[in-house]
Amino acid sequence: MTLGDAFRYRPDGVLFMTSTAYNQIYGAKKNNVKKSKFYKSFQRNKHFPNVLTTTDEAAHAKTRKVLNSVFSAETVQSAEAFIIKHVDRWCEIVSEGSTEWTEPKNVSAQIDFMTFDIMGDLAFGVDFGTQEAEENPMKAIPETIHGFLKRLNTIGHSPLLGLFVWLKPLGLDVLLQATAPKSVKDYYKFLDSSVGERIKQEDIIASRKDGDSKDIRRDLFHSLYSSKDPETGAPSFSHAHLRSEASVLVVAGADTTAAAMSAILFYLTRNERAYKKVEEEVRSTFTSVDEIRSGAKLSSCRYLRACINESQRMSPSGLTEAPREVLKGGLEVDGTLLPAGTTVGCAAWALSHSEEAYDDPWVYRPERWIVDPATGVTTEDVARAGSLVHPFLIGPGNCVGQKVAMMELLIFVGRVVWRMDLKAGDGKEETYGGGQRNKGWGERYRGSFKVRDAYITLKDGPVLRVRERSL
Ligand code: HEM
């Protein structure tokens, strides 16, 4: 360990490196913390609150309750058809429909397009169509979101954060909106018109006297629109709030999942033994690609799940320290009482590379997630490994979309491995996206997929050669 179990990362903030601290900060419902003002920097303006950016605990709890019910088993299941549509399209585009090996290609941007298109379908009922080759202004959006969040993340970690957040409602928001790059303005315009259109359709269907609603898309947007306050029976969200919640789902759901998918493909194509095992598991479990959908068979693929866990351990897609602010009365973390106002958090990447918990943290070894007398991995080993890896966070602010995310990851890896053969590009391309010897600590290991924190997770690669499987 380089910096010890607790590290002061800003004058008023401490990061912790233990599983007890993790539970004390995020775990309990009443843990005397709230989201820090870092989150406020992401809010478009005061008229667009949403579950991710609000720092008001009561407002968060209220919205979160609604979102928990929006992400019901039924809604999650309704996401499947959209996920399959975009994953299959990704396979066709990347393999070029050929059983010959393609030239090496960096699949990173195409993965970004796919997850963005999935979220467009789920959150707005619109296929953004960014996977397709044609010119499309929406194609600039994933990159625009990355640039935008990179800037906000820097402000969020700077001494100017307090001033920035204070100035936002006093005119800074208006200025930021007016001086935003054209692509950001286009994106907002697009969001506003898509949501407006969708609200209109929902309003028409809701006002039908015969109650006929069979032509409605039963997706996340529909669930958000239809949710009602249990006490008053009124809609849970105003139109502005609806727009804000739908758009945060796109930001929260697209890049995280894309980073996870890129990481898995990197690790599988650089670790032949793991790749052969997962390929054997998927190809022997299913008799056709159409069977690869959520359900008992996919859940039975435990090596596939272990591959996902292991790549989330090595290259987490939730890299943020998820800063929380200690409330009046203080918070005891690992035996130290922290005063009100202290910013606290846990750094995901450092936790999952702990040499105390993982003897070989730089080695991609999915077996560490499976209890098996043959490999000597015990229940205690798996529990210890899991105690420091929480890709979706824990507690009241954890990821509300995690079931959708896991469905996306399982279907994506399952279908890709079933339909295609993959290998790393040759020479320099073999390690593209990985660490480099001449870099600093933590970035040197070539077998590790490099991820960067910009609140969302940034990545580049991997470079792959692919071909359609010959059946
Ligand atoms: C592999 C994919 C994903 C990972 C690793 C992930 C991880 C996370 C993490 C770590 C948080 C907490 C962030 C914080 O407090 O700062 C979070 C929150 C959130 N996630 Fe995800 N996420 C993923 C996919 C998704 C998807 C697909 C959706 C939507 C369909 C989604 C929606 C959200 C929302 C709305 C929140 C805010 C929850 C709250 O504040 O109560 N995420 N996610």
Cβ–Cβ < 8 Å for 219, 70 = no
Give the model's confidence band at 410: pLDDT under 50 very low, under 70 low, under 90 confident, else very high: very high
Percent of the chain scoring above 70 in pLDDT: 98
Whole-angstrom distance, CA of residue 377 vs CA of residue 334? 29
The identity of residue 139, as a single letter, is K
List the residue whose alpha carbon is closest to atom 7 of ligand 1: 392
Whichever domain contains 204, its CATH number is 1.10.630.10
Q: What is the mean pLDDT of residues 261-282?
A: 97
Q: Is residue 1 part of a domain?
A: no
Residue nearest to atom 20 of ligand 1 (CA): 399
Give me the mean pLDDT over the 131-144 stretch: 89
Whether the pLDDT of residue 371 is over 60: the answer is: yes
- What is the 135 CA–ligand 1 centroid distance (Å)? 30
Beta strand 343-346 with 13-16 is: parallel
Q: Report d(CA 181, CA 189) in Å as an integer.
A: 13
Q: 420 CA distance to ligand 1 centroid (A)?
A: 29
- ipTM (interface pTM): 0.99
The pLDDT of 363-377, averaged and rounded, is 96
Work out the end-to-end distance of the chain between its first and last CA atoms, rounded to an integer number of angstroms.
49
The verdict on residue 10 lying in a domain is yes
Query: Closest ligand 1 atom to the C-alpha of 391?
Result: 5
Contact 28, 395 (CB under 8 A): yes
Q: How far is the CA of 318 from the centre of ligand 1 (A)?
A: 8
Please give the number of the atom of ligand 1 that sits closest to the Cα of 393: 10
Count of domains observed in the chain: 1
Q: Examine residue 208 and state whether it is found in any structural domain, yes or no.
A: yes
What is the number of alpha carbons within 13 Å of residue 225 lying toward its C-beta?
A: 23
| Residues 423-453 pLDDT 10s | 998 877 777 888 887 887 778 888 899 999 9
- pLDDT at position 392: 96
- Count the Cβ atoms, other than its own, within 10 Å of residue 206: 13
What is the number of the ligand 1 atom nearest to the C-alpha of 259? 1
Residue 74 lies in a domain: yes
Q: Choose the weakest-confidence range: 85-89, 98-102, 227-231, 314-318.
A: 227-231
pLDDT band at 240 (very low <50, low <70, confident <90, very high): confident
In a domain, 194, yes or no: yes
Please tell me the number of Cα atoms within 13 Å of 57 on its side-chain side.
11
CA-39 nearest atom, ligand 1: 16
Return the pLDDT at 2: 59
Rounded to the nearest whole angstrom, what is the distance from the C-alpha of residue 449 to the centroid of ligand 1? 21
With bands split at pLDDT 50, 70 and 90, how would you rate the model's confidence at 123? confident
pLDDT over 80 at 30, yes or no: no
Q: What is the pLDDT of residue 211?
A: 67
Ligand 1: nearest atom to the Cα of 317: 5
Residue 412 CA to ligand 1 center (angstroms) comes to 18
The residue segments making up the domain with residue 173 are: 6-468
Residue 232 has pLDDT above 80, yes or no: yes
Q: Report which ligand 1 atom has the smallest distance to the Cα of 79.
A: 30
When the pLDDT of each residue in the chain is averaged and rounded to a whole number, the result is: 90
Distance 39 CA to ligand 1 centre (A): 14
Q: What is the CA(236)–ligand 1 centre distance, in A? A: 21
Ligand 1 center to 397 CA (angstroms): 9
Q: What is the whole-number distance in angstroms between the Cα of residue 205 and the centre of ligand 1?
A: 31
Contacts of 332 (CB under 8 A, 6+ apart): 24, 338
| Ligand 1 pocket, CB under 6 A | 51-52, 64, 248-249, 252-253, 256-257, 260, 317-318, 320, 322, 391-393, 397, 399-401, 404-405
Residue nearest to atom 32 of ligand 1 (CA): 401
Closest Cα to atom 3 of ligand 1: 256
How many angstroms separate the CA atoms of 219 and 225, rounded?
10
Mapped onto helix, strand or coil, the DSSP state of residue 423 is: strand
Among protein residues, the one whose CA lies closest to atom 43 of ligand 1: 399
> Distances from the Cα of 367 to the Cαs of 89, 245, 291, 356, in angstroms?
31, 38, 26, 18
Residue 215's Cβ-count burial label (10 Å; 0-12, 13-18, 19+) is exposed
Q: Give the C-alpha separation, 256 to 409, whole Å.
A: 11
From the centroid of its chain, how far is CA 140?
Answer: 20
Mean of pLDDT values over 70-90: 94
Nearest CA to ligand 1 atom 37: 52
- Find the mean pLDDT for residues 135-163: 87
| Residue 346 annotated in ligand binding | no
Substitution candidate for ligand 1 out of 78, 256, 307 with most atoms within 8 A of CB? 256
What are the tens digits of pLDDT across the range 173-217? Answer: 888 888 877 777 777 787 788 888 888 888 888 777 776 767 777
